[in-house]
Amino acid sequence: MTDPSSPVSDQPVAQDLRHALARVRTEVGKAVVGQDGAVTGMLIALLARGHVLLEGVPGVAKTLLVRSLSTALSLDTRRVQFTPDLMPGDVTGSIVYDQKAGDFEFREGPVFTNILLADEINRTPPKTQSALLEAMEERQVSADGVSRPVPEPFLVAATQNPIEYEGTYTLPEAQLDRFLLKLVLEVPDRDVEVEVLRRHSAGFDPRDLAAAGVTPVLGAAELAAAQHAVASVGVSADVLAYVVDLARATRRSPSVKLGVSPRGTTALLASAKAWAWLSGYDSITPDHVQAMVVPVWRHRIQLRPEAELEGVAVDAILASIVQQVQVPI
């Protein structure tokens, strides 16, 4: 019997897919420096068929990351700048009258793409934010009584600025819960920033990815095969119980007003499966679960007001819970 705690030598097809995804990281690295964790997180979200919330101050390559990944995966991508006057139909599409045909027709919005970059999503009112909910959850857009599927694969990569709150609208909990991961892009350290400047000095243009050497590695068909392989990753009853115990611990924490919901446990399981498969495992272990707890749950927890006043950090609470909950042997 294969030891689930050790990497396995599986079928050559799966190995080829993993190697291709490793090359995707290399291609993205030609344009984006020092954000390896975010690149891996984006791949995990694609493999688990989820969505990503990218948080970081301006200028840490959030948009460039999405564009580079789309190029390396040969996927169509569209960008929407979310503003206070943006309407739901500007995102999903709307019914318009065609004078030539003498009839009404549906004109698709930018959501009909593989990777939708929702830039500064918290700058648009909740009415427009919620227009994405059906597409994110059901992978379709309903208009005039007709449901239209979005392309596959489909991922919403939404960005938000963590330090500027004037003129912004907090994302409702229902929408936050639809994001599989929240990835925080930090300001790079000194050596990485020097490398960024060196590349720009050598002529790097972030608007011209072809000149930077970013080339497609695989396409939608290969990505679908990888998603199927991830879905087949095994999980023991003990690990399932461990995920639930972690979630229940968030609900009992004295600093937490709203803990992780059952949707959060399924999101953690899906992410752990994707991370296990990327790492060459045929079954998830507690280590895979622990590695994904913070990015999967950091946006699903509401702190009590007194905890916020004391400066308690959600990431710290989650790290403490991981330390406290008994790990299955």
Tokens of 211: 């000149």
- According to DSSP, the residues that pair with 143 across neighbouring strands are 146
- pLDDT score, position 3: 42
- Using alpha carbons, select from 188, 187, 129 the residue that is nearest to residue 158: 129
What are phi and psi for residue 113, nearest 5 degrees? Answer: -155, 180
302, 257 in Cβ contact below 8 A?
yes
97, 106 in Cβ contact below 8 A?
no
- pLDDT score, position 226: 95
Q: Residues with Cβ < 8 Å from 39, sequence gap 6 or more?
A: 25, 28, 29, 32, 65, 69
- pLDDT score, position 250: 96
- pLDDT score, position 7: 52
- Using alpha carbons, select from 42, 119, 49, 39 the residue that is nearest to residue 78: 119
Q: What is the 3-state secondary structure (H, E, C) of the chain?
A: CCCCCCCCCCCHHHHHHHHHHHHHHHHHHCCCCCCHHHHHHHHHHHHCCCCEEEECCCCCCHHHHHHHHHHHCCCCEEEEECCCCCCHHHHHEEEEEECCCCEEEEEECCCCCCEEEEECHHHCCHHHHHHHHHHHHHCEEEECCEEEECCCCCEEEEEECCCCCCCCCCCCHHHHCCCCEEEECCCCCHHHHHHHHHHHHCCCCCCCHHHHCCCCCCCHHHHHHHHHHHHCCECCHHHHHHHHHHHHHHHHCCCEEECCCHHHHHHHHHHHHHHHHHCCCCECCHHHHHHHHHHHHCCCCEECHHHHHCCCCHHHHHHHHHHHCCCCC
Sign of the alpha-carbon torsion through 314, 316, 317, 323: positive
Distances from the Cα of 31 to the Cαs of 12, 25, 38, 46, 205, in angstroms? 30, 10, 13, 20, 9
Q: How far is CA 307 from the centre of its chain?
A: 27
Q: In terms of pTM, does the model score above 0.85? A: yes
Q: How far is CA 177 from the centre of its chain?
A: 12
- pLDDT score, position 9: 42
Report all structural domains of the chain as residue ranges with CATH numbers, in order of start.
12-232 (3.40.50.300), 233-329 (1.10.8.80)
- pLDDT score, position 182: 96
Q: What is the pLDDT along the chain (329 residues), one digit of tens a residue?
A: 334 444 544 566 788 899 999 999 999 999 999 899 999 999 999 999 999 999 988 888 899 999 999 999 999 999 999 999 999 999 999 888 777 777 888 889 999 999 999 999 988 888 888 888 889 999 999 888 889 999 999 999 999 887 766 767 888 787 888 999 999 998 889 999 999 999 999 999 988 999 899 999 999 999 999 999 999 999 999 999 999 999 999 999 999 999 999 999 999 999 999 999 999 999 999 999 999 999 999 999 999 999 989 989 999 999 999 999 999 97
